[in-house]
Amino acid sequence: MELELLLRVLLRRWWLVLLPVVIVVALTLPQFLNQGSAVSGGYLVRFQYSAAQETSNLPNRDGDFQDVWLASEYLVNAFTDWVRGSAFRAELAQLLGTGIDLAPLAISANNARSVGVVEMQHPDASALEQIVMASIEVMSERSAAYFPQLGGESAEIAILDAPIVVPLAPSLPNRFLPFIQWGLAVLVGIMLSILAHYFDPILRDASELERMGIRPLAHVPRQR
């Protein structure tokens, strides 16, 4: 009986159920249809590099080059921490100027297998292209200012793969967010219909009189 009453209330005030749904769909549909950076949250670029001290700063030596390889590994380790730090970001800001917003830039780096890997994320693709080029320039020309063991000369940097900016895949919450918003709009519409019924003083059928303890004496049929 209660379910029948609820269905009757919703059918009687269907427009109140539909109103918030229409508003929310109108606001979220462009975002749902857009598969670009507004949904994905930005773009990603990744590149690998190797680093070594300038050959002019290497000591005269005979035999194998095991310690040269070890020094390169240590240098990549140091670069990994440098790239993730605030000093590197300050160098980028100085090089790029005020035209590029670095606030949303996310940088991660690691040095697995003695090869450096840098990943950067930014909501703007063209800005990210400029940032990655500036990053390679800073790594190639400014390392001597941060690593005295390089002997006053910047390290040699070799980029092992060309950095390519790609869009990020939408995260799981972003994929289902419009459906969640539409579902909440339906719930809001149902609540509005129930509230409107609760505050409505008009009696529309005999069942409402019976719930008030009043027994109807007769029914007037509708004209067809």
Which DSSP letter does residue 151 get?
A: T
Q: What is the pTM of this model?
A: 0.61
> Residue 108: what pLDDT?
93
Close Cβ partners of 213 (under 8 Å, ≥ 6 residues apart): none
C-beta of residue 53 within 8 angstroms of C-beta of residue 67? no
**How much of the chain exceeds pLDDT 70, in percent?**
77
Domains and CATH numbers, the chain: 2-35+171-211 (no CATH), 40-167 (3.30.70)
Q: How confident is the model at residue 195 (pLDDT cuts 50, 70, 90)?
A: confident
Close Cβ partners of 160 (under 8 Å, ≥ 6 residues apart): 47, 48, 49, 50, 115
Q: What are the tens digits of pLDDT across the range 72-122? A: 888 899 999 999 999 999 999 999 988 899 999 999 999 877 799 999 999
Q: What are phi and psi of 17, to 5 degrees?
A: -70, -40
- Count Cβ atoms below 10 Å from residue 118 Cβ, excluding itself: 23
Q: How confident is the model at residue 58 (pLDDT cuts 50, 70, 90)?
A: low
